A = this chain, B = another copy of it.
């Protein structure tokens, strides 16, 4: 099986990490997520803020002692996804378990061909008070709809993304994103999705169109 990395990935520039190394680093990323939350909400005195900042700089220096040339990839794709740049990106800002800015949003390919992601967003992702930032929801849709369109094994780039915000999306409660591929036509595929709150009501609907680069299209069988 050929790993369908996107055309601009130079595999020589990328490290492919095995499960054990991912686990240790995922723990660190999770700890930094808690630190981010503390930075946003801390009310300790200024001198304590400055003292913590100094320690943060020291930890950054320790991690930077040896650096990768680019964000690492997993040596196996996410469950249910074919091997691709998208399914193996550990540093992805939406789904990457090694990226502290990512919630991270999980991805579950269901037997019926649809997709489900269940996630909870906290104060770090606040837009209107007590509500999820509309742009954060947009970022999550882009990622999950793109992975949904990629279920066939053919990666594509986002061409259009349209979001319709129906009602406010709450923070701190489980949200469910459901998505499916609705159409394919040559190099184009369309995916649709919704985010639903705990009350079962749809808060946001989204449609996206993805285009597969010509040279990544599967060859026609004669």
Contact = CB atoms under 8 A, between A and B. Distances in A.
B39 A32 contact: yes
Interface string A20-62: 1100110111011011101111111010111111011101101
Given A94-B135, A138-B139, A165-B157, A52 B43 contact: no
Contacts of A28: 39, 49-50, 52-53, 56
A126 B159 contact: no
Contact of A124 (B24, B51, B99): B99
B67 A101 contact: no
A15 to B, nearest CB: 7
Copies in the complex: 2
Interface residues of A, number: 88
A161 B159 contact: no
Given A32-B56, A128-B157, A141-B135, A42 B67 contact: yes
A106 interface: no
Contacts of A93: 124-127, 133, 135-136
B160 A164 contact: yes
A1 interface: no
A146 interface: yes
Given A46-B21, A128-B157, A161-B163, A91 B134 contact: no
A91 B126 contact: yes
The 9 A-B pairs with the shortest beta carbon distances in the complex, nearest first, are A135-B139, A135-B142, A38-B63, A138-B138, A42-B63, A134-B158, A101-B101, A43-B66, A28-B53
Given A8-B130, A35-B63, A92-B127, 14 more contacts: A40-B71, A40-B91, A40-B96, A42-B64, A48-B65, A59-B59, A70-B126, A93-B135, A100-B101, A133-B139, A134-B146, A135-B143, A158-B165, A161-B162
Interface of A: 5-6, 8-10, 14-15, 20-21, 24-25, 27-29, 31-32, 34-36, 38-44, 46, 48-53, 55-57, 59-60, 62-68, 70-71, 85, 89, 91-94, 96, 98-101, 123-131, 133-136, 138-143, 146, 157-165, 168
